[in-house]
Amino acid sequence: MEYRCYAITMPPKKILLVEDDLFLSSLLKNRLQREGGFEVSLARSGDEALTLSESFKPDLIMLDIILPGKSGFEVLEEMRSRPGFKAPVIIISNLGQSADMERAGALGIKDYFVKAKTSIDELIEKIKTM
């Protein structure tokens, strides 16, 4: 009897990165793709994030709060109101006040990272374990 072994490869997990800072977004996107094997789509505004979240169907959304157009809070509120929206959301922001963190928590985020207090290495490792 002859046995054959087949490798089953899973498609990469998809991340929607919503960040308007060109340097940070490029750095995060490249490292997530290279080190995590993720498929990353980049949105630079709130409106672009809403459009991409519909077409890209991300497994995770990394969302900044201060964005051109709609803020990250407005984006999150609109996404949460959509039927069938399931992707976990983590916040990456320079806003670190407890009121901002509480508001994000009330909107059901998975985690909140303050850019000034979190290294890129820490962030990438956290994403890889999610």
Ordered by start, the domain boundaries in the chain are 14-129
If you classify domain 14-129 with CATH, what class do you get?
Answer: alpha beta
User: What backbone torsions phi and psi does residue 4 show, to the nearest 5 degrees?
Assistant: -120, 145
- Secondary element (H or E) of residue 60: strand 60-63
Q: Enumerate the β-bridge partners of residue 14.
A: 39
CA gap 35, 50 in Å, rounded: 26
- Secondary element (H or E) of residue 125: helix 120-129
pTM of the model: 0.89
Q: What percent of the chain lies above the pLDDT cut of 70?
A: 95
Q: What is the pLDDT of residue 77?
A: 94
Band (pLDDT 50/70/90 cuts) for residue 8 is low
pLDDT at 9 over 80: no
CA gap 12, 32 in Å, rounded: 11
CA gap 96, 85 in Å, rounded: 26
> In one letter, which amino acid is 91?
I
Q: Enumerate the β-bridge partners of residue 42.
A: 17
- Identify the CA nearest to 99 among candidates 61, 60, 65: 65
pLDDT at 91 over 70: yes
pLDDT, tens only, 12-58: 899 999 999 999 999 999 999 999 899 999 999 999 999 999 899 99
pLDDT at 11 over 90: no
Place of tokens 């985020």: 109
The pLDDT mean for the chain works out to 91
